[in-house]
Chains A and B, each alone.
Chain A
C-alpha cells in the first residue's frame, strides 16, 4: 500500500505556509529536510522536562537525559545496522565527521607519498579535508573521473588503486546530481589493496537502506538534518577496530579515562571521540526522526521518491529549453537542470516568486561543475512529503520561465 502523502505532510508544520502569496512548495530537501512535529516536540520536551548534562550526573534528570541520549545511539546503530552502539559517534555534521577521520585516522596512517582517492562528484566537504591532509603529509589526492551522465568510471577507479592507496573517501549519492555510486564494488576493490573506505552518506542516508556490515565500509558519515532531524548533529559510524586504532580527535572532558599533569589515558569508544558536552537535545530529538522514517519504512519512502523523480523527469523534459544535468541510471530523488540561456540564480528567484523553493548554484561541488562545463544548476530535490501536484507547479513555473526567455 502506498503512503498517505497528505497525512504525512500534515505532520510538518513549516510546510503549511504561503511564500510571496503562493503556497510553499519545498523542493530543497537535499540541502535540509523539514522536521515533523514529533521531532519539534521532542526538542521542547527535553528542555521542559529533562534538561541536564549527561553521563556523570548523580540525579534523576541527568539519568533520564543520559538514557534518552544513548537510546538514540542505539536507534542509529539499528538504522545503519552497526554491530554495536559504540561504533556510532556524534559530531556536528557530515563535514565534521569527515574532518574527524582526516585529523585522526589521516594524521596517524597517511604518510608522505601515500594516496587518497576521491571522485569528481564530491561535495567540497569531502575534498578540502583531504587536500589539507595531503598538503600537511606530502600525500597525493587522486580523483576518479566521471562520464557525461555523471557516473564514475569504475575501470578508471581500479587503475588508480595501488598499495599506496590508504583511503578511498567517496560519496554514496551525489548531492548535485543524485547519482548513486556503486559503493559495494568500490569498497571491495579498495579493500583488496588494503585501503580503508569512508562513505559520505549525507544524501544517501535518507533515501537508501544503509547496512554498514553488508557494505563493509570502514566509515559512514551523515547528518541528522537531512533525515528529518535537527541541524547541528552529525554521525560517524566506524568499525570498532578502526576507531580503536585511531588517536582521539579533540581533548577535553568525557574523552578521558584518567588525567594527571604527567599523562592522560583516554576513554573507550565512542566517548574517546566525543570531548565536551555533546548536542544533547538534538541527539535526543533525532530519535523521533528515525522513528518517523522507520514507521513509514525506507522502501515505501524510496518508492514514493522514485515515482516523484520519474514524474518530474517526464513533465519537465517536455518543456522546450529544459536541460537535465546528471542522467545516471541509478539516482536518488534529485533533479538538477538548467533552462536554456538562463542563469540558475535567475531561475531560482523566479521559482521562488511562485512559492517554489529550490537550490541554485554550484551546490558546493565546484570541481564537478567545472567538469560539466557549467556555472551551476537549478536543483529540485524531493522528500517523502512532496507530491505530484507540487511537481506540476514546478513544471508550470519552469515552462513559463522558459517561454519568457525564448520569446
Chain B
C-alpha cells in the first residue's frame, strides 16, 4: 500500500493540473466519486451516517490483517468525490497510521475555497469519523 504522504502529493499534483477553474475541479471531484467501491445496500442505515454532514454520508469500516478497510457512500456526487479522496489516502492503512496522518493535501489543494465553508465542516466530520474508527480498532488491538 502506498505511503500516506505519497498519495497526498499525487492528489496535489492532479489538482495543480486543474488550476483555478472551479467548474473543472468540481467535475473532477464528481468523477472521482463515481469510482468509489460499491456500498452494501443493507448498510445504508441511520447508524452508519456521519453526523455533521449536510448531505447524507454513510461510512463503515472493518479491520483486516491490521489494516482498516473503509467503505463509504453519499447521496450527492460531489460528497462522494470528497470521501473518495479521503479513502484514497487512508484506506487499507493501519489504525496508527490513520490516527497520525496529517492530511495536508486538504489545505494544499485549497479545499476550503473549492467546496465552501458548509461542506468543509462536513468534510471535517468525515475525517473525524474515519479517525474515530481507527482509534476504536487501535484500542481493540491493544487489549
Report which A residues bind B (CB closer than 8 A): 20-21, 342-343, 345-346, 349-350, 352-354, 361, 375, 404
Contacts and interface: CB of A to CB of B under 8 A. Distances in A.
Contacts of A350: 23, 26-27
Nearest to B55: A345
B115 interface: yes
Contacts of B79: 345
A353 B23 contact: yes
Nearest to B74: A343
8 A-B pairs with least C-beta separation: A343-B76, A353-B22, A353-B23, A20-B22, A346-B78, A346-B76, A346-B77, A345-B76
B26 A353 contact: yes
A404 B78 CA distance: 13
B contacts with A: majority SS: helix
A356 B54 CA distance: 21
B26 A343 contact: no
Interface in B70-119: 75-79, 115-116, 119
Given A343-B77, A375-B75, A354 B23 contact: yes
B20 interface: yes
Interface of B: 20, 22-23, 25-27, 30, 54-55, 75-79, 115-116, 119
A349 to B, nearest CB: 6
Contacts of A21: 20, 22
Contacts of B55: 343, 345
Contacts of B119: 345, 349
A349 B54 contact: no
B79 to A, nearest CB: 8
A21 B19 CA distance: 13
Contacts of A346: 30, 76-78
Contacts of A343: 55, 75-78
Contact of A345 (B20, B22, B27, B54): B54
A392 to B, nearest CB: 17
A342 B77 contact: yes
A363 B59 CA distance: 27
Contacts of B20: 21
A343 B82 CA distance: 15
Contact of B78 (A345, A354, A361, A375): A345
Contacts of B77: 342-343, 346
A361 B119 CA distance: 13
10 contacts: A20-B23, A21-B22, A343-B55, A343-B77, A345-B55, A346-B78, A350-B23, A352-B22, A361-B54, A375-B75
Interface centre among A342, A350, A352 (most CB of B within 10 A): A350
Contacts of A345: 54-55, 76, 78-79, 119
A155 to B, nearest CB: 37
